[in-house]
Amino acid sequence: MTELTSNIDYPRQTLDAVFKPKSIAVIGATPKRGTIGHQLLQNIFQFGFSGIVFPVNPKYESIHSIKCYPSVSSIPDPVDLAFIVIPKESVAQVAEECGEKGVGGLVILSAGFKEVGGDGLKREEELSELQRKYGFRIIGPNCMGILNTAPSVRLNGTFAPTEPESGSLAFMTQSGALGVAILLAVKKRNLGVSYFVSVGNRVDVSGDDLLEYWAADERSNVIGLYLESFGDPRRFTNLSKEITRHKPIIVVKSGRTAAGSRAASSHTGQLAGLDIAVDALLHQCGVIRVSTLEEMMDLVLALTKNPVPKGDRVCILTNAGGPAIMATDAVVNEGLTMAKLTGATRKKLAGFLPEESSLRNPVDMIASAGPDEYGKAMEVILEDKGVDTVIVIFVPPMLVEPREVMKQVAEASSHHKKPVYCVLMAEDHYYDEIPRQFKNAPPLYRFPESAVRAISAVNGYRIWCERPEGNITTFPCEDPAIENIINDQRQSGGGYLSPVDVNRVLRAYGFPLCNVELVPTDGDVVVAAEKIGYPLVLKVHGEDIIHKSDVGGVIVDIPDERQLLGAKAQMDRSLADAGVTDRVEGFLVQEVAKSGKEVILGMTMDETFGPLLMFGMGGKYVEVLKDIAFRVMPVTDVDAIEMIKGIRSYPLLEGVRGEERVDIDFIVESIQRLAQMVNDIPAIVELDMNPVIVTADRGACRVVDSRIRVAPLRPSAGQT
Ligand code: ADP
Ligand code: MG
């Protein structure tokens, strides 16, 4: 191989080099059935590639009566794209040859690279160097190929046995094996793809590159991703936030059940399950996350066949009671609204429906309803301004032909711009025949719940599109001592800041604190108490005593000196009983906060996603209630409000049973202050404020317990 340089000799190609080639070479093509090299070539022929194909294999003079070339350099014409299906050892050399020939893109299906470790890593690095040297784009290695159904291209460069249909779904998968299953699932739902890409090891082209490419592609209306890991969460965030405003992105991210909490000594750390960051990130980017491929297909069906509704009001039209009840339950459980039909609508329905019908939502036309009734009722309901989405349920009674009903439903819905979902509870063959027969038919579902789940996801997407982008507020913070406090702690090996330092940092960022005195173990709590004033709280302090109340280390509302001494003696005994006396580093004498609702604000560092911010109901029960919300950075005011409103106990903050509403704006601001602090001080790896006591009066809100841990300073190179 020639000497590699890090200079880019050729300009880096755009992805058009990969997806819109005029000529392709299939290196490793073979006439042997049952091999990838055979199936790939077969698929390219069968799908009717619009350009020229050059099989390459030194062992054959022709394959399928087409001239076969011994090497890519022996092809007399230019080659835009090369598929590489040869043993791993020869891939680099062939790639180099492609580079010399001026090939713009490589799709490397061969395996045996990064995924196998060892020598594979070296081989992958070699590819990466060649990519930089020649500027060609690489898909793979270790992938199952690419697909572009555009009529001007028609490239099925995969070895999947399913012949794909053309459609508006652009799909990327990080798992090749799953890719085959996905193409099959797409086909089974009578859906089609615009693009399909198995990215493999992503030595060059990443999922993010594809997102960018598809964002601008007119044939792709929905983007689907099967993700196993994030290459560059920051880039993904920036891209997807932009794209989802006009094109939905649906993600199946595996690892949902990756249970277990991190080894952490903070509430926030313990509560941040491994999957929390992914959920938070996707949510903040407007990306729709689903847990199964089936759910994804339900949703793709919805988004490709239906417009996004204007609101969340659903009307159900049925000929059978049972499924309508199931649909109604699902609508309510998903947080959607059952539409209220106007008097005029009901009157119109009464004009042609039998007396036994129910004219309220769900509209039950009873079993006698046929194509005519369905058609007319659909027109009337779709006219009603109080209806945003319609679910049509049809359970075929004897003598009524489902195709006729669906024809009328399709006809009526084509007159309106509202989404319509059909739940057809009929024999299997209809699910295939109806979409083929009526191209404009609304999406078909087998069960009410799957239709409603799709409606709910689409509704979530609507809310995202309407949601303001939000702002990042910056608060003044001018305590020059903070930097030193943090650096000193880092220098001495990191870990928890002392309570005094914690308070200094929090105060600098505008958090309201209780006055507090730290008393050494041999100090006098009474002297400290005089500075604070009664009533007060006595707490134990020790870096390793994480939950003070667990060991009898918190006594609140101490009214006077006598009781303080009693409390101190009692606490000493409790600490001894709990066996933590030798971990006691001192005592805190603290002002009592006005009573209110206890919330938690926290942060824990995620290796991949950076700081994770947490808000939730706080106090002692936080781990039991797990009523919390996480966000990744950056966190805007809109994110902060959503975090607060997103927890189950939000109504408690609003006040129930005549209670006062707590100052929610204070919490919104506190979340933003925390975000700023975390952003300003990257050395913070863990932080808990639990509880923050919030009251109706902002002036009385207090952070009464907090911990901050910072990372150790990394010894710089050369230090011993
Ligand atoms: P820990 O979380 O280590 O057990 P905390 O300092 O959070 O200890 O105290 C436990 C509980 O005691 C709090 O959830 C709160 O209900 C109450 N508490 C602690 N400090 C105060 C205070 N200054 N004013 C009022 N209540 C307090
Ligand atoms: Mg606490």
Query: How many CA atoms are closer than 13 Å to the CA of 119, on its beta-carbon side?
Result: 5
Q: For the packed helices 637-646 and 664-680, what is the interaxial angle rounded to 10 degrees? A: 120
* All residues at 6 or more sequence positions from 444 whose CB lies less than 8 Å from its CB, including other chains: 301, 406, 422, 423, 424, 430, 431, 434, 435
Q: Determine the distance separating the centroid of ligand 1 and the alpha carbon of 31, expressed in angstroms.
A: 76
Q: Are residues 279 and 237 in the same domain?
A: yes
Contact of 378 with 390, CB cutoff 8 Å:
yes
Task: Please identify, among 404, 438, 466, the residue that sits at the C-terminal boundary of a domain.
Answer: 466
pLDDT at 317 over 90: yes
For residue 549 and ligand 1, the question of a CB distance below 6 A is answered with yes
Q: Are residues 187 and 121 in the same domain?
A: yes
Confidence of residue 265 (pLDDT cuts 50, 70, 90): low
Q: What percent of the chain has pLDDT over 70?
A: 96
Q: How crowded is residue 7: how many other Cβ atoms within 10 Å of its Cβ?
A: 7
The pLDDT value given to residue 330: 98
Per-residue pLDDT tens for 322-364?
A: 999 999 999 999 999 999 999 999 999 999 999 999 999 999 9
Backbone angles phi, psi at 505, to 5 degrees: -65, -45
| Ligand showing the shortest atom-to-Cα distance for residue 556 | 1
Q: Residues 185-192: what's their mean pLDDT? A: 92
| Ligand showing the shortest atom-to-Cα distance for residue 532 | 1
pLDDT at 270 over 90: no
Q: Are residues 58 and 180 in the same domain?
A: yes
| Residue 497 included in any domain | no
pLDDT at 259 over 50: no
pLDDT at 8 over 60: no
Confidence of residue 1 (pLDDT cuts 50, 70, 90): very low
Per-residue pLDDT tens for 610-644?
A: 999 999 999 888 888 889 999 999 999 999 999 99
The pLDDT value given to residue 4: 38
Q: Determine the distance separating the centroid of ligand 1 and the alpha carbon of 555, expressed in angstroms.
A: 8
| Ligand showing the shortest atom-to-Cα distance for residue 537 | 1
The pLDDT value given to residue 295: 93
Structural tokens at position 69: 């070339």
Contact of 610 with 685, CB cutoff 8 Å:
no
For residue 537 and ligand 1, the question of a CB distance below 6 A is answered with yes
Q: Which atom of ligand 1 is nearest to the CA of 514?
A: 23
For residue 28 and ligand 1, the question of a CB distance below 6 A is answered with no
The DSSP element (H or E) to which 197 belongs, if any, is strand 193-198
The pLDDT value given to residue 647: 95
pLDDT at 7 over 50: no
Q: Are residues 224 and 275 in the same domain?
A: yes
Q: Are residues 531 and 641 in the same domain?
A: no
Per-residue pLDDT tens for 562-572?
A: 999 999 999 99
* CA proximity to 84, closest of 29, 16, 155: 29
Q: Which atom of ligand 1 is nearest to the CA of 620?
A: 14
The Cα 554–Cα 541 span in angstroms is 10
Q: Are residues 523 and 618 in the same domain?
A: no
Per-residue pLDDT tens for 444-499?
A: 999 999 999 999 999 999 999 999 989 999 999 889 999 999 999 999 999 999 99
Q: Are residues 114 and 240 in the same domain?
A: yes
Q: Are residues 208 and 253 in the same domain?
A: yes
| Residue 717 included in any domain | no
Contact of 618 with 599, CB cutoff 8 Å:
yes
Best residue among 704, 706, 707 to mutate for probing ligand 1, ranked by most atoms within 8 Å of CB: 704
pTM over 0.75: yes
Number of domains within the chain: 4
The pLDDT value given to residue 273: 65
Confidence of residue 440 (pLDDT cuts 50, 70, 90): confident
Structural tokens at position 419: 């989404």
Instruction: Tell me the average pLDDT of the chain.
Output: 93
The Cα 386–Cα 311 span in angstroms is 9
Structural tokens at position 375: 């058609």
For residue 592 and ligand 1, the question of a CB distance below 6 A is answered with yes
Specify the CATH number for the domain of residue 634: 3.30.470.20
Per-residue pLDDT tens for 640-689?
A: 999 999 999 999 999 999 999 999 999 999 999 999 999 999 999 999 99
The pLDDT value given to residue 46: 96
| Residue 6 included in any domain | no
* All residues at 6 or more sequence positions from 429 whose CB lies less than 8 Å from its CB, including other chains: none
| Ligand showing the shortest atom-to-Cα distance for residue 688 | 2
The Cα 381–Cα 215 span in angstroms is 35
For residue 535 and ligand 1, the question of a CB distance below 6 A is answered with no
Contact of 591 with 532, CB cutoff 8 Å:
yes
The pLDDT value given to residue 719: 40
For residue 516 and ligand 1, the question of a CB distance below 6 A is answered with no
pLDDT at 718 over 80: no
pLDDT at 540 over 60: yes
Q: Which atom of ligand 1 is nearest to the CA of 690?
A: 7
pLDDT at 586 over 80: yes
Q: Nearest 10 degrees: CA dihedral of 615, 618, 620, 626?
A: -50
Q: For the packed helices 233-243 and 276-284, what is the interaxial angle rounded to 10 degrees? A: 40
The pLDDT value given to residue 486: 97
Backbone angles phi, psi at 159, to 5 degrees: -110, 20
pLDDT at 421 over 90: yes
The DSSP element (H or E) to which 613 belongs, if any, is strand 610-617
Q: What is the DSSP letter of 492?
A: T
Task: Please identify, among 302, 337, 357, the residue that sits at the C-terminal boundary of a domain.
Answer: 302
Amino acid (one-letter) located at 295: E
Specify the CATH number for the domain of residue 551: 3.30.1490.20
Nearest CA, atom 23, ligand 1: 592
Q: Are residues 398 and 525 in the same domain?
A: no
| Residue 177 included in any domain | yes
| Residue 63 included in any domain | yes
Asked if omega into 70 is within 30° of 0 (cis), the reply is: no
| Residue 691 included in any domain | yes
* CA proximity to 628, closest of 605, 655, 599: 599
| Residue 257 included in any domain | yes
Q: Are residues 319 and 287 in the same domain?
A: no
Q: Determine the distance separating the centroid of ligand 2 and the alpha carbon of 615, expressed in angstroms.
A: 14
The Cα 693–Cα 528 span in angstroms is 23
Confidence of residue 10 (pLDDT cuts 50, 70, 90): low
Per-residue pLDDT tens for 192-206?
A: 999 999 999 999 999
* CA proximity to 251, closest of 235, 271, 236, 272: 236
Q: Which atom of ligand 1 is nearest to the CA of 595?
A: 25
Q: Are residues 239 and 160 in the same domain?
A: yes
Confidence of residue 170 (pLDDT cuts 50, 70, 90): very high
Task: Please identify, among 268, 284, 302, the residue that sits at the C-terminal boundary of a domain.
Answer: 302
| Residue 410 included in any domain | yes
* Among 43-52, 75-84, 246-255, 420-429, the least confident range: 246-255
Instruction: Provide the strand spans (E) within 48-153.
Output: 52-56, 62-63, 66-67, 81-84, 105-108, 137-139, 145-148
Structural tokens at position 237: 């965030």
Q: Are residues 279 and 331 in the same domain?
A: no
Specify the CATH number for the domain of residue 357: 3.40.50.261
Q: Which atom of ligand 1 is nearest to the CA of 549?
A: 4
| Ligand showing the shortest atom-to-Cα distance for residue 553 | 1
The DSSP element (H or E) to which 215 belongs, if any, is helix 207-215
The pLDDT value given to residue 263: 53
Domain, as residue range, for 372:
306-466
Confidence of residue 12 (pLDDT cuts 50, 70, 90): low
The pLDDT value given to residue 255: 63
